[in-house]
Amino acid sequence: MAKDSTSLRYSDKDLEEFKEIINAKLKVSREDVAELKETLENSSENPDNQSGWNYEDSTDHSEKEHLISMIARQTKFIKGLEDALVRIENKTYGICRQTGKLIDKKRLAAVPHATLSIEAKLADNK
């Protein structure tokens, strides 16, 4: 008997494996954000400049902007991973939001917060 696409989902065992992958990535990402924030704070506490960061120095300005951008990118990634954990709990993880088909396990291992299959992503980019 064939299953319709709405009844397809990964097994509880598979979901547990994905959860472990996601939790490992979350741990690393949260550590990265903490390090980036510490670097940003340290750059603002420059002993040569009592008022903090020097807006006149374009190198410092670029470095600070780069750090802020990296923190924002990592924070967005963390949010995507946290959302993926919610989908695991709801047992909807790994289902393409466009096609309703299962997203390939290799894709989810590489991009655990993915909500689109490769075919849907490619179609979306056209």
Q: Map out the domains of the chain as residue ranges.
A: 5-124
pLDDT digit string (tens) for 44-65?
766 454 445 455 556 778 888 9
CATH class label, 5-124: mainly alpha
Q: In angstroms, what CA-CA distances link 44 with 32, 38, 47, 55, 73?
A: 18, 10, 9, 11, 20
Backbone angles phi and psi of 8, in degrees to 5 = -75, 135
Confirm whether pTM is higher than 0.85: no
- 99 neighbors 114 (Cβ within 8 angstroms): no
In 3D space, the residue among 70, 95, 77 whose CA is nearest the CA of residue 26 turns out to be 77
Question: pLDDT at residue 96 above 70?
Answer: yes
Q: Write out pLDDT tens, residues 102-115.
A: 999 999 999 999 99
